[in-house]
Amino acid sequence: GIQVEQSPPDLILQEGANSTLRCNFSDSVNNLQWFHQNPWGQLINLFYIPSGTKQNGRLSATTVATERYSLLYISSSQTTDSGVYFCAVEYGNKLVFGAGTILRVKS
Amino acid sequence: DAGITQSPRHKVTETGTPVTLRCHQTENHRYMYWYRQDPGHGLRLIHYSYGVKDTDKGEVSDGYSVSRSKTEDFLLTLESATSSQTSVYFCAISESGTTNTEAFFGQGTRLTVV
């Protein structure tokens, strides 16, 4: 099956700093999504991005499908950005998740 | 927000008892999924459904069964709960299983097996 690897596994930032999260996948995929799981456990859709670049406020994402990776950029981080960030790829009819990046933003 | 409701939201049960979790959607989406989330593993697929009475296994399906008798409801059953099934369970829906579809998740059910 497909392997989805996220890096780094943990990240601590000072409020206002920028960060880049990476998602590598081992095979061609139909699409890719980024999610944020907040401290209450809710999974929030950030980006649906099978290829190209998208931006939403302070967050942006880029997927290079031919090279099998995606990047999530967080600029001017805020404490509310804390939580776990997951990428998930659609492989066949299934959504396969990476293990996540735990982000802690300190004030 | 996508209309997905999971019930119950929290449950404590004893080892060996049957447990059923319910996922209800109001979006008329074809695909429904059950995942479990455990520390260090992200979310892992248990079972999914691609239509009424059409289901298939995911990567961690042992000890679980599912049923889908209506488009809007997808049930996950633990026939005889074990402590290893203590986890947070998420339901997800998507319009189809092919390209150009986005998956949305419910609020989760925290299950503790004692």
- Tens of pLDDT, residue by residue over A5-35, are 999 999 999 999 999 999 999 999 888 999 9
Determine which of A23, A42, A95 to mutate to test the interface with B (most B C-beta atoms within 10 Å): A95
Chain B nearest-CA distance from A54, in A, is 15
- Check CB contact under 8 Å for A31 and B99: yes
- Chain B CB contacts of A99 below 8 Å: 40-42
pLDDT for B1 equals 57
pLDDT for B42 equals 84
Q: Which residue has the higher pLDDT, A59 or B95?
A: A59
User: Residue A29: which residues within 8 A CB-CB, separation 6 or more?
Assistant: A2, A50, A65, A68, A89, A90, A91
Chain A nearest-CA distance from B97, in A, is 5
Chain A nearest-CA distance from B80, in A, is 26
- Chain A CB contacts of B102 below 8 Å: 33, 45, 48
Rounded CA-CA distance A89/B15 in Å is 34
Model confidence pLDDT, tens digit, residues A29-85: 888 999 999 989 999 999 999 999 999 999 999 999 999 999 999 999 999 999 999
Question: What is the C-alpha R_g of chain A?
Answer: 13
Task: Tell me the residues of B at the A interface, defined by beta carbons under 8 Å apart.
Answer: 31, 33, 35, 40-45, 48, 50, 56, 58-59, 88, 90, 92, 94, 97-105, 107-108
- Chain A CB contacts of B35 below 8 Å: 97
Chain A nearest-CA distance from B60, in A, is 12
Percentage of chain B modeled with pLDDT above 70:
94
Give CA angle at A25 (A19, A31), nearest 5°.
90
- Chain A CB contacts of B107 below 8 Å: 41-42
Selecting from A42, A43, A48 the residue whose C-beta is nearest the C-beta of B102 gives A48
Mean pLDDT taken over chain B = 92
Average pLDDT over residues B32-57: 92
Q: Which residue has the higher pLDDT, B112 or B42?
A: B112
Helix (H) and strand (E) counts for chain A? 0, 11
- Check CB contact under 8 Å for A86 and B43: yes
Q: Give the lowest-confidence range in B31-35, B47-51, B101-105.
A: B101-105
Q: Categorize the per-residue pLDDT at A87 as very low, low, confident or very high, splitting at 50, 70 and 90.
A: very high
Strand-pairing partners, residue B66, are: B76
Average pLDDT over residues B33-57: 92
User: Residue A51: which residues within 8 A CB-CB, separation 6 or more?
Assistant: A63, A64, A65
Q: Categorize the per-residue pLDDT at A1 as very low, low, confident or very high, splitting at 50, 70 and 90.
A: confident
* Minimum CA–CA partner of A87 in chain B: B42
Joined tokens for residue A23: 């998602």
| Residue B99 confidence (pLDDT) above 70 | no
Q: Categorize the per-residue pLDDT at B100 as very low, low, confident or very high, splitting at 50, 70 and 90.
A: low
| Residue B98 confidence (pLDDT) above 60 | no
Give CA angle at B56 (B50, B59), nearest 5°.
125
Say which residue the tokens 């520390």 belong to: B39
| Residue B40 confidence (pLDDT) above 80 | no
Average pLDDT over residues B83-107: 86
